[in-house]
Structure 1
Amino acid sequence: MIAVESLRKTYGDFPAVVGSTFAVDRGEIFGVVGPNGAGKTTTLKMIAGLVDPTAGSATVAGFDASDPEMRRSLGFLPEESPLYEDMTARSYLHFFADLYDVPDDVATERIEDTLDRLELDHRDRRLGDVSKGMKRKVAIARSLVNDPDVLIYDEPASGLDPLTTNYVLEFVRELSDAGKTVLFSAHNLYHVESVCDRVAIMNQGEIVARGTVPEIREEYGTTDYRVFTSVALDDTEPAGDRYAVTVESMADVEEVRDRVTARGGEVVDIRTREPSLEEIFLELAETTGTGPRGES
């Protein structure tokens, strides 16, 4: 549903995005992560047709990103999404439904269903008088009034409390289950790890890693093994009524087992610890550089 090929954006001599290439399938949740200035927002805006690329191409639902018809298949949520604060949630969403020529009866059913799924109360309260979390839910509902096949969300949980954040992420999963294709950016890598099918890590305008989280772990991460023993060794530390040491390979585990056996003890437990996406990202950021780049 989304195909990006050698996408590039420069502002003068500044390369904001350098040759990004990836594809997102129908019903897939694809995360783009990276620090401020990595090129995430610029990439998403080019795919959404809001910024013209310097080179390369992006297609959405079979349309070129520059084709106005593409927007009928797209729901876009920017990181900052000011609302018309004198309107109510219902009037605001009906206003946007009219812009997409959605028939009134269809719009009413779609809007009420979406607000129900988002558990949004106070639908007739002035938007200037509701919480930031409720405003974000209204902005998400706005992205769905035209029933798009593809959704592009820039930091959908930006500035939200943990409870509302979890709700928004669960809603993203529901959209994927319903067949929507979701592309979104995020700073919080735990959120990405918990909801995305695949991920692209950006730094300095380039994609430095891509794939499923297990694939990225396998290629860029190191798995540790926490070995618990019944007797102390020179390199173990107390762990309750046991002793523990962390090693980097199964060969190291067997070496610990041999030493424990020689002392008349045994290995009582082995726990595998895989690196988080955040740990891998920090490692990649160090190896690819993190100079200031302004807007992301």
Structure 2
Amino acid sequence: MKRNVVAVLLAIVCGIGSSAAMAKDRAQGADDGVKVDGMSPLRKLVPEEQIEAMALEQYAGMKQQAGQHGALVPDTHPQVVRLRAIANRIIPQAARWNPRAAQWQWEINLIASKDVNAFCMPGGKIAVFSGLLSTLKLTDDELAIVLGHEIAHALREHGRERMAKGTLVNLGASLGSALLGLKDTGQMVMGQGAKLVLLKFSRSDETEADLVGLDIAARAGYDPRAGIALWQKMNAADKGAPPQWLSTHPAGKNRIADIRKHLPEVLPLYAKAKGVAPGALPPYQSNRSGLAPIP
């Protein structure tokens, strides 16, 4: 009996990763641009309205706390104006990847912090930390790649999917350990295994967000080759990062390789937005010395 139940639990956990690969995404990006696997049906275990309401509450709390500490950068600040101008070009491209995005109440704010980070919550609530801008000295194209990536997480409902996966994996680890009589040691071992499974899923989400982000940024008229320069800068600033297999983010060199691989799919979108032929595009030039032009 114990063996049968454990087998079922393992099948659930192992099947989480393969469920998203059952069908290609034909509804969005099917005619041109990048192609990605369909979203996992497991996300439906968490209602859309529930996670969007949670995100709205958390975002409001973050803004309130930032305001109390003088960290919410004013609307009139040049960097806030810049961020919103870039986002306003990208957001109209979002609905092709998720029809609900057309009804989201989009918002973007800049938080004064040394953190090199940004995020987009379910429902279109975006925050960028000033350390991202001050540390990396991003061009508009590079910043558009960052925003596209974070927006893609929300469009592909990665937060909703991770909530469902996390619930199942933790439940499977706890029940499996109890049924096998492993007690404390078993809980620890199986718990670590569950964490590694979730890390793998998260890296997969990051890779998908890279690709979808390139797609929507290119359609908005931002050079997708800026993604290569972005990760060259990130690599230089991220020395001492953990190995890829213990990180929630793919290694920078792997991200650059993936971007190069998919440039033929997104450069025509960028060229179309700029009104030129792909072959007429000049090489991308970043604003940092030592970074060669990217053909």
TM-score (norm 2): 0.25
Structure with the largest fraction of strand: 1
Structure holding more helix per residue: 2
| Bigger radius of gyration among the two | 1
Specify which structure has the bigger relative contact order, considering alpha-carbon pairs within 8 angstroms and separated by 6 or more residues. 1
